Structure 1
Amino acid sequence: MFRTDTLQITPEVLGLVARIDEFKGAWRALGTLAPDRLSALRRVATIESIGSSTRIEGSKLSDREVERLLSNLAIKKFDSRDEQEVAGYAELMDLIFRAWEDIPFTENHVKQLHQILLQYSQKDEWHRGGYKTNSNSVAAFDENGTQIGIVFETATPFDTPRLMAELVQWINDEREKAVLHPLLIIGIFVVVLLEIHPFQDGNGRLSRVLTTLLLLQAGYTYVPYSSLESVIEASKESYYLALRQTQGTIRSDAPNWHPWLLFFLRSLAEQARRLEKKVEREKIVLAALPELSLQIVDFAREHGRVTMAEAIKLTGASRNTLKQHFRDLTERNHLEQHGSGRGVWYGLK
């Protein structure tokens, strides 16, 4: 078992926790946007999360390609390994967002979530939903998906069932005792889970989904509307460094939780900051836009882009009327034009 009595609660840790909790409280007021606006924010965040979390593990699909794949999710036919992984991640996130209040935190449920994550991945069929039977180590990948080195060694297959039983028991006990702050409990759980690396594959993706589940269960109900995964992807080198600095000490007499918890809390604070900025922009700036312009912006936010043909179909307005709205939105820095002629399209600025 690991020790937490060496945990350092520094002024920066306290400040980050306070900032995140302040946003958690403010979300009740910030989150009063219309349901369609909240739905659009959540869809964009979901696309970003799926794209970022799978790219951290070596996928090459862009957010635009992820969005296109999600719009055809009902087809259930995925040609590449990247597409299979994205589809599984998307369905698991949807389940978490719908049913987080009803998911008990047990080993069996963690295994079930892993099975859903890899349900479309043909190469993972033999091990999904079960703890690893072969040794695995954590590799780091560059932006091209090429392995650049081993980050750290993980628990043996023999030790994994015992270590997972201890970890799940620990988090349930800590959540019930409520001595440690929930954010610290979640942060410690995640870094120990990744140190064990209990499944043959999918551990990183599963850890990020479990982070979202635990945050929701701890009352951080804003997390579906802002992508934590995209924050981590933007700081991938720091992510691996923090993991390595803490994980090498977890089984020692003096675990150094500080590097990982600092990275984890900074990432959560950035997630909240991004969402606050988006919501304030929605309320202050978009409130002054005409209804037609709002429809165009909402479509661009939900789908990643909008064309003139899509705007005509969406609104029923004439091409000349819409041209003026596109011009105004571009001049006011809400949209950015890409391409020219028949191939022109607009994305969010």
Structure 2
Amino acid sequence: MYQPRFKYNDRIVKSLMSIEKYKNTVEMLPLPKDIEKELRKEAKLKMTHYSTRIEGNPLGLEEVSEAIMKNRDRQGLKAEQEVRNYWNALSFLSTSKRLKIPISEDFIKRLHSIIEVRGSGRRTEESEYRGPTRPGVLFAVYDSVTGQPEYIPPEANDVPQLMKSFVAWINSDDARELPAPIRAGIAAYQLLTIHPFYDGNGRTARALATYILSIKGYDLKGFNSMEEYYVSDLQGYYTKLQMNLPVLYYDGRNNPPDLAPWLEYFVLIMEKAFQKVARIAQNKYKQQIDPRVNKLEPRELIVVKLLLTKNGEITPKEIAGEFNVVTRTITEWAKEWIRKGIIEPASGTERIRTYKIGRAYSDLTLSDLGYVETDQ
């Protein structure tokens, strides 16, 4: 079974921690369904555009959108068909996630067959691994400028066993114990290293990483797109994948190299992408938020939340416990809150025993404050 080799370093750990922070931010923000749908569609469009752009697709973002909207399947320009294929592949992944389809060789072959549909005729159910090339023909990844081989993958005869070993690792306990970003990064790297198909390996590897992240909840509600960051620095992307290793697979890549340089880059790109999604989600949330909530100071926001989670009434002692202050301090703060109409006395006259939420704020919900309803 394939056994990747790497060690965590400070940069990898830092990025993983940031990824978790931004992931939690997005998950906790309540957004209207139409806004979520808009963000998912935009992310899917960007993933389609940028993942195909990495492989040389010339269409711009608007042209990609138009090609998808045409929905003519295998008609039109090759570039249009290519982006529709990737869009369909992402739809396939979404359905597979809902159905909890495990990753297998057949799954990867099916994914590739959707990505690589060409011309008219019946759509094949699964792709086949590449076979031997003609005598005198070298199967390699070539530099688009120099024309020289950048990477010479393993021989076709070795591909079936390498893929079997690779998929066994994906489904192993060792792989499942890894953080999802690390597992996805390793999977993308190794599929590209094996290069099991004649074409479409890059798109398939990125799509596979997307699936691994999504089934573990790292798709940020479907808002995430990492590919645009690869496009912004394509040379850096390819350099990190190469890791200064020999061109020929059998000269060092067959004995798993240290993947830390690639994983460091992969999780850094994730961190940047997640940070952007969190910022967009926060901005969308603020645009939808009740203007009354925007006027609340941090302490006032906490008091309103307490009242919404305590059946509408709360004692000065309970508020004091939340802020770790004495009850007398809450009595003083409460005067201002009452003046603003945020709270009202619920019981007691000269000495208030409990407070309730003010009439002007009584229709607020936890979602209005930015909390999920399960906090109740």
TM norm. shorter chain > 0.5: yes
Corresponding letter in the other structure for 1:12:
R
Corresponding letter in the other structure for 1:225:
F
Return 5+ residue gaps in structure 1 as ranges. 290-349
Match of 2:86 in 1: 89
Matched, 1:241 2:244: no
Match of 1:269 among 261, 268, 271: 271
Distance, in Å, in 2 between the alignment partners of 1:122 and 1:202 is 18
Corresponding letter in the other structure for 1:165:
K
Match of 1:16 in 2: 15
- TM-score, L = length of structure 1: 0.73
Distance, in Å, in 2 between the alignment partners of 1:113 and 1:21 is 28
Contact persistence 1:78–1:84 (CA under 8 A): yes
Instruction: Quote the RMSD (CA, aligned, Å).
Output: 2.7
Written as runs of structure 1 = structure 2, the 5 A alignment for 1:299-318 is none
Corresponding letter in the other structure for 1:110:
I
Written as runs of structure 1 = structure 2, the 5 A alignment for 1:192-341 is 192-222=190-220, 224-245=222-243, 248=246, 249-252=252-255, 255-285=257-287
Match of 2:167 in 1: 168
Corresponding letter in the other structure for 2:254:
R
Match of 1:79 in 2: 76
After superposition, the Cα gap between the structure-2 partners of 1:105 and 1:77, relative to the gap in structure 1 and judged at 3 Å, is: closer
Distance, in Å, in 2 between the alignment partners of 1:285 and 1:149 is 52
Distance, in Å, in 2 between the alignment partners of 1:159 and 1:209 is 23
CA drift of 1:137 comes to: 1.8
May I ask how many residue pairs the two structures share in their alignment? 280
Contact persistence 1:238–1:263 (CA under 8 A): no
Q: Name the SS of the counterpart of 2:11 in structure 1.
A: helix
1:186-227 Cα offsets, whole Å, 9 max, x none, are 211211110110011000011111111000112214162121
Match of 1:138 in 2: 141
CA drift of 1:89 comes to: 0.6
Match of 1:29 in 2: 28
Corresponding letter in the other structure for 2:162:
L
- TM-score, L = length of structure 2: 0.68
Q: Name the SS of the counterpart of 1:250 in structure 2.
A: coil
Contact persistence 1:60–1:82 (CA under 8 A): yes
Return 5+ residue gaps in structure 2 as ranges. 134-138, 247-251, 292-376
Corresponding letter in the other structure for 1:251:
N
Corresponding letter in the other structure for 2:276:
R
After superposition, the Cα gap between the structure-2 partners of 1:64 and 1:288, relative to the gap in structure 1 and judged at 3 Å, is: farther
Written as runs of structure 1 = structure 2, the 5 A alignment for 1:1-150 is 2-4=2-4, 6-30=5-29, 32-73=30-71, 75-101=72-98, 102-121=100-119, 129-134=127-132, 136-141=139-144, 149-150=148-149
Match of 1:151 in 2: 150
Give me the identity figure in percent: 25
1:124-179 Cα offsets, whole Å, 9 max, x none, are x89971101145322354xxxx676533111111100000000000111146651x
